[in-house]
A = this chain, B = another copy of it.
Amino acid sequence: MVDIDDLDRRIIQALMADGRASYGAVGAEVNLSAPAVKRRVDRLRERGVISGFTVKVDPALTGWTTEAYVELFCSRSTSGAEVLRRVEAYPEVIEAFTVTGDADTLLHVFAADMQHFERVLSEISAEPFVARTRSVLVLSPLLRREILSM
């Protein structure tokens, strides 16, 4: 994909395991000095390979425990950009994709409860470009983890 070498990959993996690990600790894992690790991390950030650092919070503790995937059947060929412009106004929508298959767009939605979800769904359904929706509600999350490839 991009010119990141094996050392970069190992640094990223170490930081994926613990994003607050000191550069020295990361360096110990990859056999590099702390300044060397920092320089590489800085460069990875500059190039956009690393877009930032975050905290992993138990999703149940946000208060928004109702999770659903909503397929959008768009009336006519609406552009992805326009769909994005409309759906990003809903903080409940955390992911949006254009997809293959019957539907045109897939939305990943979180809401506080069923009533909240129903309200959001009816609002999205009322958007002019939406012909029809099909929702799949998450009953229980079995697995949630990060991509590890590379």
Contacts and interface: CB of A to CB of B under 8 A. Distances in A.
Interface of A: 1-2, 4, 12, 15-20, 48-65, 67, 69, 71, 80-81, 83-84, 87-88, 91, 93-101, 103, 105-106, 110, 112, 134-150
Contact of A61 (B1, B88, B136, B142): B1
15 contacts: A1-B65, A53-B56, A54-B54, A54-B146, A64-B149, A80-B142, A87-B142, A87-B143, A91-B149, A94-B147, A96-B141, A97-B138, A97-B139, A103-B136, A106-B138
A93 B99 CA distance: 18
Contacts of A64: 147, 149
Contacts of A55: 12, 15-16, 19, 50, 52-53
Nearest to A137: B100
Contacts of A80: 140, 142
Contacts of A142: 80-81, 83-84, 87, 96-98, 105
B54 A50 contact: no
A68 to B, nearest CB: 9
A16 B139 contact: no
A100 B139 contact: yes
Nearest to A54: B19
A109 to B, nearest CB: 10
